[in-house]
Amino acid sequence: MKIDESQILRVAELARLDLGDDEKKEFSTQLSDIISYVEKINELDTADVAPSDHIVELKNVFRADTVLPSIDRAALEKIAPRFEDGHVVVPIIIEGQE
């Protein structure tokens, strides 16, 4: 299937693109090549090929959700620059927020 300049102009108009003459010719050639390649792939017999959404098999890896000891509050107070009411206080980084 050949993509002509009118189709390129229509897509460019929808995408709000201003294409030059060289770009129109280049995109027309590139898109025609892509369509030809897809048409060639469609000629293949895929009746025995199972559909897939990924090339490789994917699986989630889960770990046990276990409670582990955390850092001691006293140790945290020693390493934190500022610690108030059980919280680490950090400097304000967004102006106007207090």
Residue whose structure tokens are 């620059």:
81
Per domain, the residue ranges of the chain are 5-42
In contact, 72 and 79? CB cutoff 8 Å: no
Alpha helices in the chain (DSSP H): 5-14, 21-42, 73-79
Look at residue 51 in the predicted model and tell me its pLDDT: 81
Q: What is the pLDDT of residues 16-39, one digit of tens each?
A: 999 999 999 999 999 999 999 999
Q: What's the chain's Rg over C-alpha atoms?
A: 30
| pLDDT interval class at 60 (50, 70, 90) | confident
Kindly report the pTM of this predicted structure: 0.45
Q: What is the pLDDT of residues 42-58, one digit of tens each?
A: 888 888 888 877 778 88
**Looking at the domain that runs over 5-42, which CATH code has it been given?**
1.10.20
